Structure formats: structure tokens, C-alpha cells
Amino acid sequence: MANRVQIRTSNSALIAMIADEDTITGFLLAGVGNVDLRRKTNYLIVESKTTVKQIEDAFKEFTTREDIGIVLISQYVANMIRFLVDSYNKPIPGNFGDPV
């Protein structure tokens, strides 16, 4: 894969993230950040002032968007919305938590 030029195709999917600022920063450096015409991003930075409702809304939004293939969520954030995460059972987008 490293030796081929990657051309974006119509069945490309994004990686969404719900995590702390450092994790989001790191993955944005790796090129996964996406901003659409409505200025909507494919990530949510969870800070001390982020409410559980905001996290739940972001999780629901990312798991219903058709252009997202994987939802990455930090373990401690997933614990805040454990019921919602455990009740999600679709294969795509797949979701799993950071190990740390």
C-alpha cells in the first residue's frame, strides 16, 4: 500500500473520533481530519466541559452517517456512554475503544 498512489474513490469511508485533545491532534496529524461543506467535522474533542449529552449526540451522529467506516472512542469516554455503546451492534461503522 505504501508504494501505490492512493486515489480517493466514491466508496471511501472516514474514521470518526471521540477522544481527548491529544488523541485527536495525533490522528489529525495522520490525515484523518475531514471538514464538510456544513463545517461539520468527523471528530469530537472531549474536554472537562463536554457534557454526556454532547458525547451521546456525537456517537449517534457518527454511527448513522454513511460516510463513516470506523468510530474510534477513548475508553474513558466510552465508559461515560456505556449503555449506548453496548447497545450498538451493527458491523459498520465498526467501533472500539482505545486500549488506554
Partner 1 sequence: MESSENGRESNEGISVKEENILNFLDSVDGYLILMDSLSSTLRQGWLELASARHSMGASRINSTLFDLKLHPASTTLQVNDQSAAPDRELPHFTLCKWASSNNPEKYFEEAKFGEDELLKKSNSLRHRDISHNSEIQARSPESVGSPVTVDDQAEKERYKSLSMFGTLVSPKLRASQLSFETALEMLVEVSNMRASLLCAHDQVQKDMETATK
What does the binding site for partner 1 look like in residue numbers (CB under 8 A)?
1-15, 21-39, 41-42, 45, 69-70, 72, 91-92, 94, 96, 98-100
Residue with cell 454513511: 66
Give the burial class of 83: count Cβ atoms within 10 A of its Cβ; 0-12 exposed, 13-18 middle, 19 or more buried: exposed
What H or E segment, with its residue span, contains residue 76? helix 75-80
Q: Which is nearer to partner 1, 9 or 48 (CB)?
A: 9
For residues 73 and 80, which CB has a smaller minimum distance to partner 1 in the complex? 73
Smallest gap from Cβ 77 to partner 1, in A, equals 15
